[in-house]
Amino acid sequence: MLPVSLADVEAAAERIAGVAVRTPLLRLPLDADIYIKPESLQRTGSFKFRGAYNALASVPRERIAAGVVADSSGNHAQGVAAAAALLGVSATIVMPENAAPVKVERTAAWGAEIVRCGNSTDERQAVAAQICAERGLEYVPPFDDVRIIAGQGTVGLELVADLPAVETVVVCVGGGGLISGVATAVKALRPDVRVVGVEPEWAADAQESLREGRIVKWDAGDVSRTVCDGVRTQALGELTFATISELVDEIVTVSDQEVLEAMRYAMLEAKLMVEPTGALTLAAILSGAIAPKGPTALIASGGNVDPTLLASVLAARPG
């Protein structure tokens, strides 16, 4: 039995309605029948707000009265900070030293206390656990949590409603919360739809895990090489691995250069600003890693890109 059901995702959709943005589905200027759902337009600039708000709003208020704590390299951090601020509770966010400055600044702008630590997932989780124990705070996991997965699954609900004829859905993969939620919703509504994940070559632990039939953990130093800072997670969680193993048809990889080229295409041709992680799905299409089959929907996970990187991508010569 899967950890999250369609009913859980539908309940999350009701919970976040009127707070989260119902992002549009836009046709891309390509020959094939391809659409993109820009979660860069979501509150805090990322899909992560959906899961964070659902997680906090679905627990008794007294449980979060003392505040919440999360560990994140950036987008989950902003999502939790924003959700906590909207619900009137304090947030403490543990962020690695290699977190993008723009994400740290925007997390702090929501009033969150920032605690810095090393770059490994283990260290981030250890620091967050210590803060939880010392202060009695509610922990909000970045991906391996039924409330988070259900919240992210609302992306899939909206996608199927807007494109009932969809045949392929393409989603980036980090810790697996987004693709798990989306696959749960999409496959429940349209079992015949093909769900494909995308990772950078330098952080392809999920692809290896799916191939090996077990959770494979990559070293922090290895995953930190990719420009896609939103998917530098070292391993899938137990819940997300179980869901991906059951519902995801395939996981492909793309190079960092292909990601940067997709970012440039998104900005100049589709008029959308996406961060590197948000460009993974488009990179998979443009590079040929995925051959579109029928109406295809790409999820652009976020748009919180560092201004310096943005400038360099725009200035680069194509190819």
Tell me whether strands 250-254 and 26-27 are parallel, antiparallel or unpaired: unpaired
Where are the CATH 3.40.50.1100 domain residues in the chain? 6-46+145-315, 49-139
User: At 311, is the pLDDT very low, low, confident or very high (cuts 50, 70, 90)?
Assistant: very high
Does 1.20.1250.20 match the CATH number of domain 6-46+145-315?
no
> pLDDT for 17-47, tens place per residue?
999 999 999 999 998 999 999 999 999 999 9
Is there a contact between 59 and 86 (Cβ–Cβ < 8 Å)?
Answer: no
Tokens 């094939």 sit at which residue? 32
**Residue 156 three-state SS:** helix
Inter-CA distances, 35 with 53, 122, 265, Å: 26, 37, 14
On the question of pLDDT at 160 being above 90, the answer is yes
**From edge to edge, which strands make up the β-sheet containing 194-200?**
26-27, 34-38, 296-300, 168-172, 194-200, 250-254
> pLDDT for 101-139, tens place per residue?
888 999 999 999 999 998 888 888 899 999 999 999 999
**pLDDT attached to residue 33:** 96
- Tallying the residues shown for the chain, one arrives at 319
How far is residue 253's CA from residue 297's CA, in Å, rounded to a whole number? Answer: 17
At a CB cut-off of 8 Å and minimum separation 6, what does 126 contact? none
Paired tokens of 126 = 């250890």
DSSP letter (8 states) at residue 110:
T
> pLDDT for 178-205, tens place per residue?
999 999 999 999 999 999 999 999 999 9
Does 1.10.565.10 match the CATH number of domain 49-139?
no
Count of CB atoms situated within 10 Å of the CB of 295: 18
Burial label, 208 (beta-carbon count in 10 A; 0-12, 13-18, 19+):
middle
Give the pTM: 0.96
> pLDDT for 58-86, tens place per residue?
999 999 999 999 998 889 999 999 999 99
On the question of pLDDT at 237 being above 60, the answer is yes
On the question of pLDDT at 54 being above 80, the answer is yes
At a CB cut-off of 8 Å and minimum separation 6, what does 190 contact? 160, 166
**pLDDT attached to residue 319:** 56
